[in-house]
A = this chain, B = another copy of it.
Amino acid sequence: MTRVADQLIETLKNEIHAGVLKPGDQLEEAVLAQRFAVSRTPVREAVRSLVECGLLETRSRKGAFVRVLSAKEIMDLFEVAAELEGLACRLAAERLTDEAMQAINAGFRECETAASSGDAEAYSRANLTFHTAIHHASGNRRLVEQLSEFETRINPYRSMPYKMRNRLAQSTQEHREIMTAIFDGDSAQAADLMRSHMMLQGQRLPLILQNLM
């Protein structure tokens, strides 16, 4: 892991995640090379990786751009992610360990705190903590990776769907019910609740509302 390209991948991922690089932005190899004080070679390797991740796209002889997802593509992504989040809940309910239980509970508490203080930014982080705890509780590494990749891909498109204080409270309540189902070992219920929870979030993505499908 001493490769320059790996650091570039990490940095660029973060910048896309954080919104520094926005969908549609062009990435010129020479510019990136100069900025990081390396040659174009590792830059190109990083770009290749990010294209395969789905974060960038390259048009022939035109270079790399931060990938723009259509409303339909976002919906498709969400549909798949909702199903996998449901799977994570089902497996978590079936294979629950003490540590996993504590991690999920901690994530939930974090959500509660952020919701009651109305801090949307903090809730966004807490939300991720809660979901990630469930992912890990599934005991399925592939699933964890898949859902992490989804998070990376979808993040540039969600501009704070938690703006309304109402939604924070409602989301927390949904989390509570999901957590309860998992702890009760009610795997089918946990999966169903999570799927609904996710699809609700999906419907709130602003771009979907704008572009109409």
Which residues of A are at the interface with B, using a C-beta cutoff of 8 A? 1-3, 5, 41, 44-45, 48-49, 51-53, 60, 73, 76-77, 79-80, 83-84, 86-87, 91, 140-143, 146
* Complex contacts, A84 vs chain B, CB 8 Å: 80, 83-84
Given A45-B48, A80-B84, 16 further pairs, Cβ under 8 A = A1-B60, A5-B48, A41-B41, A44-B45, A45-B45, A49-B49, A49-B52, A73-B141, A73-B142, A76-B141, A77-B142, A79-B142, A80-B87, A80-B143, A83-B84, A83-B87
Can you report 7 residue pairs joining A to B where beta carbons are below 8 Å apart? A1-B60, A48-B48, A52-B53, A76-B141, A80-B140, A80-B142, A83-B87
Interface of A is mostly: helix
A142 touches B60 (CB 8 A): no
Given known contacts A3-B60, A84-B83, is B140 in contact with A76 (CB within 8 Å)?
yes
- Which residue on B lies nearest to A195, using beta carbons? B87
* Complex contacts, A140 vs chain B, CB 8 Å: 76, 79-80
Q: How far is the CB of A41 from chain B (nearest CB, A)?
A: 8
* Complex contacts, A60 vs chain B, CB 8 Å: 1-3
Q: How far is the CB of A52 from chain B (nearest CB, A)?
A: 4
* Complex contacts, A146 vs chain B, CB 8 Å: 80
